Amino acid sequence: FFRKGLEAWFTLLIESVWGKRRIMEVYLNVAETGIGTYGVEAGSERYFKHSAARFSRSEAARMAAALPLPKKRGVVNPTGFTRRYGNTIAARIGIVRRDGLDSCVYD
């Protein structure tokens, strides 16, 4: 219980200092994206051989679906849960691009 309480306290502290965009930026730059690979940019180079700035919708969705267990969930050739979850994420990316974020979040 102590650890969860500490995590909750740090969450509130971080949210009071940083905006959501900054929190996501920091998380995406330190998240483990493979064995010895940290950050979405490094993961993109490792799996897709190009910058994350050039992600296709399916590449971004597969990378997101593999988190937080990239060692167990395939990024390049996902199967099972990871494939289904990646397809759901890709569909939501399409909705956001077409209709804006509100249409996806407040479905």
63 vs 48: CA distance, rounded Å? 10
- Beta-carbon contacts of 72 under 8 Å, excluding residues fewer than 6 positions away, are none
Nearest alpha-carbon partner for 69 in 42, 32, 26, 23: 32
Cα dihedral sign, 21-27-29-33: negative
Q: Go through the domains of the chain in sequence order and give each one's CATH number.
A: 23-105 (1.10.3810.10)
pLDDT tens by residue, 1-49: 899 999 999 999 999 999 888 998 999 999 999 999 999 999 999 999 9
Choice between 6 and 101, residue whose per-residue pLDDT is larger? 6
Instruction: Indicate whether 107 pLDDT > 70.
Output: no
